Structure 1
Amino acid sequence: MAITLAVPDTYGLVLAAATSTFFVNTFHMFRTAKLRKASNIPYPNAYATHEQAEKDVNAYRFNCAQRAHANFIENQPSALGALLISGLHFPVAAAVLGATWSVGRTLYLYGYTSSAGPKGRTFGAYIAGVADLSLKLMAAYTSYLLVAGK
């Protein structure tokens, strides 16, 4: 049985939300580069050593930026997949949740790299986490509808 997918008229909103994640990645890159420079951690070192981070708050914040960026990269593919799939059936809701995910991930980055350190990421993690779970549930339901031929 062939399935014909009709992209909803408002699917452009889904694509706009997906595109926002590329800019969040760019925010991560700039923030990490700024903190790398401030901490004088040379390339190719991915992180400051434990000793460097204990002595220099900039080195510690650089490590936080690196970890926030790695966490973003770990989560972006599944969030994008869920956004693009759920947007086939729920385009406006998916777009809003996708944009919410991007805002949450940006708050996560700036909270994590603030003077609060890892504790500063909690608010952004909560926002992004709720949006992410919602997108995944909507994607599962959309997939079910496609498999069931509904």
Structure 2
Amino acid sequence: MSTSLLGLAVPQEYGYVLCATAGTFFLGFWHGARIGPYRKAAGIPYPKAMAESSDMSAADADQKKKMYLFNCAQRAHGNYMENQPSVAIALLVAGLQYPLWSAGLGAAWLVFRTVYAVGYTREDKTKGEGRLYGAPFWFAQLGLFGLTTWTGIKMLL
């Protein structure tokens, strides 16, 4: 069964796709909001985007760790912002043909992106390897890209 959205026939389950897509907006907001405490703890003033090597060379070991974690939080957010637009578009397009698969992959992507961000800022990890716990987001993202491609091919055939 399908319904009409702005004159476009969409599957009834497309609401799940829209909710998953909206989830990417809220997760982006969460990413941005969680950087503030790391910035404050590291003592990095605005408009600096990252703690630079000159900042770290003048800091004690505890302050260096705080600057490192701030940089990790910033990088997790940056990586999220690099990937979110294409994922949101893939969700919306693939969801026209495969709403449940798309919404499921979108939900998995959201969960693993959260794990990625939290892992990246784990104090007991060095070199950001905690982010690897969330790396399966790549599989969800590639799945969405594949479904989007297949949707386009089916339209052409």
- Measured after TM superposition, the shift of residue 52 of structure 1 is 3.3
- Measured after TM superposition, the shift of residue 5 of structure 1 is 4.5
Q: Which residue among 95, 110, 116 is the counterpart of 1:102? A: 110
Aligned to 1:27: 30
Structure 2 unaligned residues grouped into runs of 5+: 1-6
- In structure 2, C-alpha distance between the alignment counterparts of 1:40 and 1:21, rounded to whole Å: 29
Following superposition of structure 1 onto structure 2, how do residues 56-71 of structure 1 map, counting pairs within 5 Å?
Answer: 56-71=64-79
Runs of 4+ in 1 over 2 A off after TM superposition: 51-55
Following superposition of structure 1 onto structure 2, how do residues 40-59 of structure 1 map, counting pairs within 5 Å?
Answer: 40-53=43-56, 55=59, 56-59=64-67
* Residue identity matched to 2:35: T
Aligned CA-pair RMSD:
1.4
Structure 1 unaligned residues grouped into runs of 5+: none
* Residue identity matched to 2:130: G
Residue 124 of structure 2 corresponds to residue 121 of structure 1? no
Q: Deviations over 1:46-85 (max 9, x none)?
A: 0011243464211110001111111100000111111111
- In structure 2, C-alpha distance between the alignment counterparts of 1:141 and 1:18, rounded to whole Å: 19
Structure (1 or 2) with the greater strand fraction? 2
Q: SS state of the match for residue 137, structure 1?
A: helix
- In structure 2, C-alpha distance between the alignment counterparts of 1:51 and 1:65, rounded to whole Å: 19
Q: TM-score, normalised by structure 1?
A: 0.90
- Measured after TM superposition, the shift of residue 133 of structure 1 is 0.5
Aligned to 2:81: 73
- In structure 1, C-alpha distance between the alignment counterparts of 2:90 and 2:76, rounded to whole Å: 21
Q: Which residue among 12, 15, 24 is the counterpart of 1:12? A: 15
* Residue identity matched to 2:30: F
Q: Percent identity?
A: 44
* Residue identity matched to 1:144: I
